[in-house]
Structures are given as structure tokens and as C-alpha cells.
Amino acid sequence: MAQDLLEEKDKLYLERMNQPLVHGDPSYHEVTRVVSEIVEVRTPKAWYIAIGITGSITLLLKMMIVYLVANGIGVWGNNAPVGWGWDITNFVFWIGIGHAGTLISAILFLFRQRWRTSINRFAEAMTLFAVACAGIYPAFHVGRPWRAYWLFPIPIADHGMWQNFRSPLEWDVFAVSTYATVSALFWFVGLIPDLAILRDRATTKIRKTVYGVLSLGWRSSSEHWKNYEKAYMILAGISTPLVLSVHTIVSFDFAVSIIPGWHTTIFPPYFVAGAIFSGFAMVVTLMVIARWVFKVENFVTMKHLENMNMVMLATGTVVGYAYATEFFIAWYSGNPYEQFAFINRATGPYWWAYWTMVSCNVLSPQVFWFKSMRRSIPVMFVISIIVNIGMWYERFVIIATSLHRDFLPSSWGYFRPTIVDILTFFGTFGLFLTLFLLFLRFLPMIAVQEVKGTIATDKH
């Protein structure tokens, strides 16, 4: 009987696994055509309108940065005791968003999760653009941004002295720059075969030249494929620890300090889970729009979306568990400062931020326990946005509420963002979306060659 049940379960599992990842049974050529044509058609008016809007927002970001550099950090709301406000909140927020891309492309690749093929290009692009947005903050949140390069151990650095390698912020410099470099490389290597397709299909001289140069002479020879697969595998191998390390090290900025609410050992796993959580939420938000606009529902199927929603449910619950653990440890430690920090989070002046965070991150993804919900486009769209709001709040809660009331009550304060804080953050969305629109317009948004591989597996 038990044996039967097990077999039944196995059968169901196999059936589920054998569901085709690509719908509509397209031919290889069909895949090439559908994906390539998005890039090759005459630029639609809507694209111009869209990039006009996002471009303007990006300009706003630029203006805000110029204003910031001209006047000083005082144009933001940062103060004493809250030395970091929206700047580092937004930095961690964007870095977190980036995580889904690397996870999908590297870890899922190594785990042979074939369903990743339809979304990995998209998610990787998102990673890069999110890291670009994130990078703005550490560079410009320093008091003297023209000296920010002193954080890099460049031999020509003016003072002929080393950086302080005990500082988590210094570790951050290496972690984030490595992450950005490897992600860019990984993304580009994956693009090469598809760029070659675009080159081969190109009709104008400019396209021929540009894609020709970018595809690095790819001729789809076996030798090329062999090297390609090897390179891809190696890069995936390099990227995998990065998924864990980047956010671990970002969390060290807090965990290594002595401030109650920051000084906790749970931060590395907690931050990584949160990052994956927010990253997948962002992929879902963007993917839902993209598959509808570009009519690629056959490649990015409900199965892909559902899988991502399940990842969100899992990571969201991990994050919720982390919230609970923090409170438990604060109580269990018997440390009055630690206890105060957490009670203050939930009931102090920033109670609203804390409860916004909990409801968005812990409660909202619970609807994905229901299959109908996690397969409903409107539901997942709304939840994915709510999750990202919640994850932004999580960073804000960690940074601002821990800093605003620490050891000596005499120096307690409060943080209020200024209009420059708000517009700068708004502007980073402009930059993110502008880069995305450029990506959608000029590069294949779905990994054509990889999807073809998936179809082949489905068929045979």
C-alpha cells in the first residue's frame, strides 16, 4: 500500500517534471524568429514614449546627484545619530534585487533547473541594472565623493597608505565590485551565441557591425560550443558563492558593528534570504509586464511564474522566521540594550515602518500556499510589488530604527527624509527602467539558444 502511494507520488512528480517548459510546440526557427523580431522590428512609438519618461526620471537622478555633490550630504535627511538613512537603505535594497538574477543563472544552472532558461537572461539583466543603481549610493553617500576612490587599494592613491582591511565597508567594496564584474561577464558570455543570431539576421550595416563585434566571431562550431559550455560552467561556479557572499558581506556592515539591532549573527542568512525574496519579486513584476507586452507567453509560461512564486513563499517565510528569531534572541540574551532595540522597533516612533515590513514580507506571500493564487497574474503582480515595498522597509527598519535610539538616551533622535532623498530614490528607478528598455530594444530578452536546448530535451 505504502509502496503504491509512493509510486503514485513519483508518478505525479514525474508528470509534473515532464510538463513541457515551452508551450505551443514551436520549431527552433520559431523561437529564433519570435525573440529576434522584438529587437528587429521598427522601434515602436510606445518604446519612445516609455524611454522618454524613464529618461527624464534618470535626468532627475542626475540633477539630484549634482545637487548633492555641490552642497553636501546635508541635503539629505541624515543626521546624528542616524548617519545612514535612505542612502544605505536604497543601496541594500538594490543589491538585494540583483540577487535573483545571479541565483537563477548560476545556482539554478548548476542544479540543472531547466526552467530557468526562459527567464535567466532577463533576470541577469535585472541584476546588472540593479547593481548599477545600488552602486550610486556608496559612491555618492560619502561626504567627499571626489575622494571615494580612496576605498580602492589603487597603488596611485594619494596618501600612499593602505585601506583599513578590518572595516566591513572595505569588504563591501570588494564584494560588490567582484559581484558586478562577474555578473557582467556571465551575462555577456551567455549572450554571445544569441548575439551571433542577431548578427546573422541583421539587414543593416550598423547592426551587422555592432552585433558582429559583440558576438566575438561566434560561428556555432562545435569547438565554440565546447568552449562556451566550459566558460559558462566555470562562471556559474564562480557566481554561485557570490550569490551568498555579497549579501553576507553587505550584512556584515551591520552585524560587525556594536549597535543593538545591528550586532546579530543571524544577519548573513537572513539578508541572503531577503535578497532572493526581493529579487524574485522584482523578476515577477517585470516578467509579468514583459511577457504580456512582447507576447512571449509560450516561452515564459505559467510554470515559470509559479516556480518563482514558490521561491518567494519559501524565502518570505524564512525572512519571517528571522524576524521572530531576532526577537527571541533579544529576549534570550538578557541584554537590555538589545531588548530595548527590538521593543522600540515594534512599538517606538518607527512602529509603522516595522509593521509595514512584517505585513508586506511575512503575511502577503502566504497567499501563495494556494495554487490558484500563485497562478493568478494579477495576484502575483500585486504581491510582488508589495514584497518589494516590504523589503525596502526591512532595510529602513534595520538601519534607521537601530541607529535612532542606541545606548545613550541623551543622543536619541529621529530621521526624516528630505525631498532630495525621495527624488534620488525615485530617480534610480528611472535609471533602472531606462537600462531595461535599452536592453529590451537591443538585446534578445530570452536566451534563444538555451530555450532551443530545452525544447530539444522536451522533445526527446
Where along the sequence are the contacts to another protein (CB under 8 A)? 71-75, 77-84, 141-144, 147-148, 150-151, 159, 161-164, 166-170, 173, 253, 256-259, 336-337, 340, 403, 405-414
d(Cα 232, Cα 228) in Å, to the nearest integer? 6
Judged by CB, which is closer to another protein: 80, or 156? 80
Judged by CB, which is closer to another protein: 82, or 125? 82
Q: What is the closest distance, in whole angstroms, from the C-beta atom of residue 259 to another protein in the complex?
A: 6
d(Cα 103, Cα 399) in Å, to the nearest integer? 25
Cα 372 to Cα 14, 15, 243, 317, 376: the distances in Å are: 21, 19, 31, 19, 6
* Closest C-alpha to 39, from 206, 291, 207, 217: 207
Q: Which residue has the cell 538616551?
A: 409
Q: What is the closest distance, in whole angstroms, from the C-beta atom of residue 90 to another protein in the complex?
A: 15
Q: What is the closest distance, in whole angstroms, from the C-beta atom of residue 238 to another protein in the complex?
A: 25
Judged by CB, which is closer to another protein: 163, or 376? 163
Q: What is the closest distance, in whole angstroms, from the C-beta atom of residue 405 to another protein in the complex?
A: 8
Cα 61 to Cα 42, 95, 131, 177, 430: the distances in Å are: 30, 18, 16, 22, 8
d(Cα 252, Cα 263) in Å, to the nearest integer? 9
* Closest C-alpha to 95, from 122, 133, 58, 65: 133
Judged by CB, which is closer to another protein: 52, or 336? 336
Q: What is the closest distance, in whole angstroms, from the C-beta atom of residue 394 to another protein in the complex?
A: 18
Judged by CB, which is closer to another protein: 55, or 83? 83
Residue 199 burial (CB count, 10 A): 19
Which residues have a Cβ under 8 Å from the Cβ of 429 and sit 6 or more positions away?
Answer: 57, 133
Residue 79 burial (CB count, 10 A): 16
Q: Which residue has the cell 505551443?
A: 24
Judged by CB, which is closer to another protein: 213, or 343? 343
Judged by CB, which is closer to another protein: 167, or 245? 167
Which residues have a Cβ under 8 Å from the Cβ of 83 and sit 6 or more positions away?
Answer: 403
Judged by CB, which is closer to another protein: 321, or 337? 337
Judged by CB, which is closer to another protein: 26, or 81? 81
Total count of residues recorded for the chain? 460
* DSSP per residue, 247-306: HHHHHHHHHTS-STTT--TTHHHHHHHHHHHHHHHHHHHHHHHHHHHTT-TTTS-HHHHH
d(Cα 234, Cα 121) in Å, to the nearest integer? 17
d(Cα 309, Cα 460) in Å, to the nearest integer? 28
Q: Which residue has the cell 569547438?
A: 223
Judged by CB, which is closer to another protein: 143, or 378? 143
